[in-house]
Amino acid sequence: MSKKDVVLAFSGGLDTSFCIPYLQEQGYAVHTVFADTGGVDADERAYIEKRAAELGAASHVTIDGGPAIWDGFVKPFVWAGEGYQGQYPLLVSDRYLIVAETLKRAAELGTGLVAHGCTGMGNDQVRFDLAVKASGDYTIIAPIREIQKEHTQTRAYEQKYLEERGFDVRSRQKSYTINENVLGITMSGGEIDRWEAPGDGVRGWCVPRSAWPGVPLRVTLTFKNGEAVALDGKPLEGARLLARLNVMFAQYGVGRGMYTGDTTVGLKGRIVFEAPGLISLLTAHRALEEAVLTKLQNRFKPDVARKWVELVYEGFYYDPLKTDLEAFLASSQVMVNGEVTLETRGGRVDAVAVKSPHILNAKGATYAQSADWGVAEAEGFIRLYGMSSTLWAEVNQ
């Protein structure tokens, strides 16, 4: 193959659509890869393939990334159980799978040139570039970063660039940056970036409150070693299970939120996100963990989880520390087996029942109800437990 062949990670959005004619005019033959990590239906998938063809891609491949994103991200993320800065459920973590598929296609074509549509202001460029650098000797081309050297209003420039060459631009892409996969949807741009209330156009899967069903939804998830393996008693492959939860809980508006985060590049990032399935999974898993892990495990594990989340968020997906932390997380899940029933009436989801052979119940005692120890034992425990504070008060009164 010619050294001018470049593989572009392609989503069909404004940025990656701009990249095809831009790279062509730089003398490249552009081969596009769409890693379907869920969240798009058959019509959208067909649109992306058609979009690549009409923009003049030399070749296009679509990859089913559902199983890989479940094993590579969802499992350890649910084990961790923490969002970035306590809120954001890392919905952009499919980027690492996209990189892997882009590099696989580059190997097939015999080229070391890869491209992406990340901007110079966001975190995705860090995730993409660091994942590529950790995977081998490649040349990274980032057209959006290049045009930012001369154009401050990049989205307006990209839109005009495409329209001048006869290519249309979707209306939502004119105002918002929208990322969608089986993990959920993130939306930024427009009034969100202006710190204003999101408009009617800022909505993905989650149904507005006025359209929530009038009856509650109850589902039961079965976990084995911390991994969800069945929905309402029916075994399901992970990515399909998550997709099903997305559909069910989106009808009740579960998993929608806004958050402002400290980004890797130092800016404040404000987004609207929707993750009905992932939030439901996290809720069920946490309820089961709380019942079967020891007090010390439940206290210590969030520290490991926060570090794991930071590494993935900031682009260090292939750092050895991430692997080290995952070894601990996997070990902590050995007894996380059982069933959790979730319920929602709209807007939030609660774990209303937990069933497991590993629940840490005391045979002769129930909290605040009954005990198999006496008054003297309780008073002795309290005396020793609080001795340091009691002595301070006595000495310093």
State residue 369's pLDDT score: 76
Q: What are phi and psi of 109, to 5 degrees?
A: -90, -10
Instruction: Give dist(CA 9, CA 12) in Å, integer.
Output: 10
Instruction: Give dist(CA 232, CA 253) in Å, integer.
Output: 21
Whether 9 contacts 99, CB under 8 Å = yes
Q: What are phi and psi of 64, to 5 degrees?
A: -80, 110
Which two tokens mark 137?
């000797």
State residue 150's pLDDT score: 87
Helix (H, G, I), strand (E, B) or coil at 349: coil
Same fold, 5-181 and 203-355: no
Tens of pLDDT, residues 4-26: 999 999 999 899 999 999 999 99
**pLDDT exceeds cutoff 60 at 2:** no
Higher pLDDT, 12 or 308: 308
State residue 173's pLDDT score: 55
Task: Find all residues with CB under 8 Å of 245, minimum gap 6, and list them.
Answer: 219, 231, 276, 277, 278, 280, 281
State residue 172's pLDDT score: 58
Higher pLDDT, 16 or 172: 16
Comparing 98-107, 211-220, 262-271, 387-396, the range with the smallest average pLDDT is: 262-271
Percentage of the chain surpassing pLDDT 70?
Answer: 97
Instruction: Give dist(CA 170, CA 168) in Å, integer.
Output: 7
State the average pLDDT over residues 124-141.
95
Tokens 């980032």 correspond to what residue?
Answer: 142
Tens of pLDDT, residues 184-196: 999 988 899 899 9
Tens of pLDDT, residues 40-64: 788 989 999 999 999 999 999 999 9
Tokens 């425990």 correspond to what residue?
Answer: 381
Fold of 203-355: Argininosuccinate synthetase, chain A, domain 2 (3.90.1260)
Whether 170 contacts 164, CB under 8 Å = no
State the average pLDDT over residues 78-88.
95
Instruction: Note the maximum CA span of the chain.
Output: 86
State residue 179's pLDDT score: 83
Q: What mean pLDDT is reported for the chain? A: 92
Tens of pLDDT, residues 328-358: 999 999 999 999 999 999 999 999 999 999 9
Burial classification of residue 397, based on how many CB atoms lie within 10 Å of its CB (0-12 exposed, 13-18 middle, 19 or more buried): exposed
Pairing status of strand 5-9 against strand 113-115: parallel
CA dihedral 57, 136, 140, 66 (to 10 degrees): 50
State residue 176's pLDDT score: 78
State residue 1's pLDDT score: 46
Tens of pLDDT, residues 245-257: 999 999 999 999 9
- Taking the CA atoms of 295, 231, 187 and 21 in sequence, report the sign of the dihedral they define: positive
For Cα atoms 225, 231, 233, give the angle at the middle one, nearest 5 degrees: 90
Domain positions in the chain: 5-181, 203-355, 368-397
State residue 371's pLDDT score: 79
Query: CATH for 5-181?
Result: 3.40.50.620
Burial classification of residue 225, based on how many CB atoms lie within 10 Å of its CB (0-12 exposed, 13-18 middle, 19 or more buried): middle
**pLDDT exceeds cutoff 70 at 97:** yes
**pLDDT exceeds cutoff 70 at 174:** no
How sure is the predictor about 291, in pLDDT bands with cuts at 50, 70 and 90?
A: very high
How sure is the predictor about 129, in pLDDT bands with cuts at 50, 70 and 90?
A: very high
Higher pLDDT, 153 or 9: 9
Instruction: Give dist(CA 77, CA 94) in Å, integer.
Output: 12
State residue 397's pLDDT score: 86
Tens of pLDDT, residues 355-386: 999 999 878 777 667 777 788 988 999 999 99
